[in-house]
């Protein structure tokens, strides 16, 4: 028994240290966004001045809007295309299917530095060039494998007999998909959309390669601001983003149980 309790205590200590390693920097950053000193002097002197300065920082605000717009559009496109591709891979057998499924993983595993360089060369070669439209195409290409993998994993828990039963009762393919299949895989679709949004919003390397002056995303703008000199306004915008992201995750967890029940 003593050995069991010791091992249990060590396990709890390990989990506690791991959580502290993950979340303590975020908590400190959030606290520093309310610190009056731009040099992080202690003790804290509470102020909201950095949030006021952020509201006047056109560069960070424009970059945030660009990132949000691109991430939302990326999530919508990648989720629609990824869900359709997952359904096709689930329902149909065709030559080269295994190869297509295997090709989903290299874009996830290949370093984004190589992917960004390849996209820059390819987009210039076919005349797309750089800009927000190029960033959007690059982000959709990066997010698609994540959506397909997540939705396909959910589809593996689906019983094809349910679709066959619906067809036997006179439902056409669109009715089967809308009323039988989609409700079942919706938690996977929502999870895939969240993955796509996160991949797009957090993407730096591809955005850096494909952005143009004046049309940067938030990660690129933060990188440029840090090179010029760090400002607590970055802590403020990061705190807002984390708060909104956690709120969205809690809402998704509230309305969709990713085990399957709504």
Over residues 15-44, the mean pLDDT reads: 85
Q: Which pLDDT tens digit goes with each residue over 137-169?
A: 999 999 999 999 999 888 888 877 777 788 777
User: What pLDDT, on a 0 to 100 scale, did the predictor assign at position 193?
Assistant: 92
**108 belongs to a structural domain:** yes
Domain span including residue 177: 57-255
**48 belongs to a structural domain:** no
Q: Which pLDDT tens digit goes with each residue over 159-205?
A: 777 777 887 777 777 888 888 888 888 888 988 998 899 899 988 99
Helix axes 232-255, 2-32, angle to 10 degrees: 130
For residue 179, the number of C-alpha atoms closer than 13 Å in the C-beta half-sphere is 14
**221 belongs to a structural domain:** yes
For residue 224, the number of C-alpha atoms closer than 13 Å in the C-beta half-sphere is 16
**14 belongs to a structural domain:** no
User: What pLDDT, on a 0 to 100 scale, did the predictor assign at position 54?
Assistant: 85
Rounded to two decimals, the pTM is 0.81
**15 belongs to a structural domain:** no
Any residues with CB less than 8 A from the CB of 117 and at least 6 apart, and which?
209
One-character DSSP codes across 216-250? --HHHHHHHHHHH---HHHHHHHHHHHHHHHHHHH
Would you say residue 78 has pLDDT above 90? Answer: yes
Are 120 and 51 in contact by the 8 Å Cβ rule? The answer is no
Taken in order 83, 87, 89, 95, is the CA torsion positive or negative? negative
Any residues with CB less than 8 A from the CB of 65 and at least 6 apart, and which?
none
Query: Considering its fold, how many domains does the chain have in total?
Result: 1
Are 50 and 60 in contact by the 8 Å Cβ rule? The answer is no
Q: What are residue 46's DSSP bridge partners? A: 35
Reading the block at residue 45, the tokens are: 């002197």
Q: Which pLDDT tens digit goes with each residue over 203-227?
A: 899 999 998 887 888 888 888 887 7
CATH number at residue 240: 1.10.3720.10
**217 belongs to a structural domain:** yes
**36 belongs to a structural domain:** no
**119 belongs to a structural domain:** yes
Strongest mean pLDDT among 32-46, 90-104, 134-148, 248-262: 134-148
User: What pLDDT, on a 0 to 100 scale, did the predictor assign at position 257?
Assistant: 58
């Amino acid at each position: 028994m003593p050995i069991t309790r010791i091992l249990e205590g060590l396990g709890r200590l390990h989990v506690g240290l791991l959580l502290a390693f993950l979340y303590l920097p975020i908590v400190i950053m959030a606290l520093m966004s309310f610190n009056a000193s731009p040099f992080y002097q202690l003790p804290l002197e509470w102020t909201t001045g950095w949030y006021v300065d952020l509201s006047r920082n056109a560069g960070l605000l424009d970059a945030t809007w660009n990132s949000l717009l691109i991430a939302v559009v990326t999530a919508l496109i990648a989720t629609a295309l990824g869900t359709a591709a997952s359904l096709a891979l689930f329902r149909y057998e065709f030559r080269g299917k295994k190869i297509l499924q295997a090709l989903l993983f290299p874009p996830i595993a290949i370093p984004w530095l190589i992917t960004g360089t390849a996209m820059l060369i390819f987009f210039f070669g076919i005349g797309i060039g750089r800009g927000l439209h190029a960033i959007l195409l690059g982000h959709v290409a990066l997010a698609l494998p994540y959506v397909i993998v997540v939705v396909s994993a959910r589809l593996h828990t689906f019983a094809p007999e349910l679709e066959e039963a619906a067809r036997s009762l006179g439902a056409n393919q669109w009715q089967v998909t809308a009323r039988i299949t989609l409700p079942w895989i919706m938690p996977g679709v929502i999870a895939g959309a969240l993955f796509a949004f996160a991949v797009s919003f957090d993407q730096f390397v591809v955005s850096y390669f494909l952005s143009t002056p004046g049309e940067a995303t938030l990660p690129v703008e933060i990188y440029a601001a840090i090179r010029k000199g760090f400002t607590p306004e970055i802590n403020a915008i990061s705190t807002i983003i984390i708060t909104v992201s956690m709120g969205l995750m809690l809402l998704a967890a509230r309305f969709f149980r990713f085990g399957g029940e709504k």
